[in-house]
Amino acid sequence: MEVVASLGPDGEHGPMSQLTRSFVRFQKNPSSVRYAVTAIISTTVLLVFTGAIFMRVFDSKSYPTFGEALWFTLQTVTTVGYGDNTPTSTVGRIVTTMVMLVAIGLITVVTAVITSMFIRSVSREQDVADQQIFSETLARIEASLAQTNKRLAELGEPPTSEPDDEA
């Protein structure tokens, strides 16, 4: 599956373009640690800022400034959770629960995607090596068969089969 960054109706990239481009670059070159780190950081930053906005909007009593909401959400996403700052409202707790679950899911999905990309990259390299070995082996077999047919022709016996020159 190939992900392609698309343009909006006005020909411009949408607000998710940086995140999308990070994943597209990572998918094209999965063995690049730089692209993997960029994809992980971009996703985490997006989650932290989105969570902080929700906490600030829905629990402004506990988080009177965006900085406090941002600090709390960062603690929650990174599973540090010092306990010095916890939501007091029901809505704040629901948002916190959602941030925790999304963070856990994010870590799981990102880990799985990165692992599968690395495995796919190694598999492609192995396939190329296997194809080269197969081609070399086939060439040796064809040369041996040609040599056997030549020797049989020298002995005056017709060859049992012709080597396939179409391969």
Q: At which residue do the structure tokens 């995140």 appear?
A: 19
- Residues 93 and 165: their CA atoms lie apart, in Å, by 73
Better-scored residue on pLDDT, 158 or 12: 158
Cβ count near 110 (within 10 Å) = 15
Task: Record the tokens describing residue 89, joined without a space.
Answer: 């409202």
Confidence grade of residue 141 (pLDDT, cut at 50, 70, 90): very high
pLDDT digits (tens, 9 = 90+) for 23-78: 677 667 655 666 767 777 787 888 889 989 988 998 888 889 999 999 888 888 87
| Residue 1 confidence (pLDDT) | 43
Better-scored residue on pLDDT, 152 or 29: 152
CA end-to-end span of the chain: 31
Range in 88-92, 121-125, 161-165 with the lowest mean pLDDT: 161-165
Domains in the chain, please, with CATH? 17-120 (1.10.287.70)
Integer Rg of the chain from CA:
29
Which secondary structure element, helix H or strand E, spans residue 30, and what is its range?
none
3-state helix, strand, coil in the chain (%, to 5): 70, 0, 30
Cβ count near 149 (within 10 Å) = 17
| Residue 165 confidence (pLDDT) | 56
Phi then psi dihedrals of residue 7, to 5 deg = -95, 150
Whether the Cβ atoms of residue 83 and residue 97 lie closer than 8 Å to each other = no
- Residues 159 and 146: their CA atoms lie apart, in Å, by 10
